[in-house]
Amino acid sequence: MNPTELPHRTVAIVRGSDRQAALRTVVTLAEEGITCAEVSLTTTDALWVIRQARRELGPGAHLGAGTVLTAADAAKAADAGAGFLVTPGLGNDLREAMPLELPTLIGALTPSEVVAAHECGALAVKLFPASLGGPSYLRALRDPFPAIPFVPVGGVDARAARAFLAAGAVAVGAGTPLVGDAAHGGDLAALRRRVAHWRSALAEEVTA
């Protein structure tokens, strides 16, 4: 998986309390062109959602597991069909298990954490929570780390996504601003409208 080649350079973050709704959300996102999604392991029956989504979307879909905290989480997610992993940080258990079987976006915020994630073989550094420092903080990090790919996550709406991409992010992760309440049983028509707005808002920046 190459984050720079993702459609709309977006990783949708699906986190919900209803497993059927979470599954429908992943599938709907793919139908509407957001074809890379991570299912947070905090989602109700998250591994079931990943398995079912993999069956529906096929082996080539960019389908991952998020909120991976331990090596056991990683192994279970891989067994369920996840093609990549996303962590909020890097605890000792994950650090000792690196490199993991699957490409991994490792969460980091400070320069020391960025170095640790990179040394552990992160596919990209998940800058989290991105809203804390904003695009200006990403620019500051890229001065000492120009070769490290960053994917900002946390409070990233369409406007912020454009700004982060302009600041040098290879992609962005979007949860509530994009997915809304769909994974909790919310209106899928509203989800489709949000996706259309998202795609339109990012089109100029992504193709620039």
Point out the residues that are catalytic: 38, 126
SS in 3 state form for the chain?
CCHHHCHHHEEEEECCCCHHHHHHHHHHHHHCCCCEEEEECCCCCHHHHHHHHHHHHCCCCEEEEECCCCHHHHHHHHHHCCCEEEECCCCHHHHHHCCCCCCEEEEECCHHHHHHHHHCCCCEEEECCHHHCHHHHHHHHHCCCCCCCEEEECCCCHHHHHHHHHCCCCCEEECHHHHCCHHHCCCHHHHHHHHHHHHHHHHHHHHC
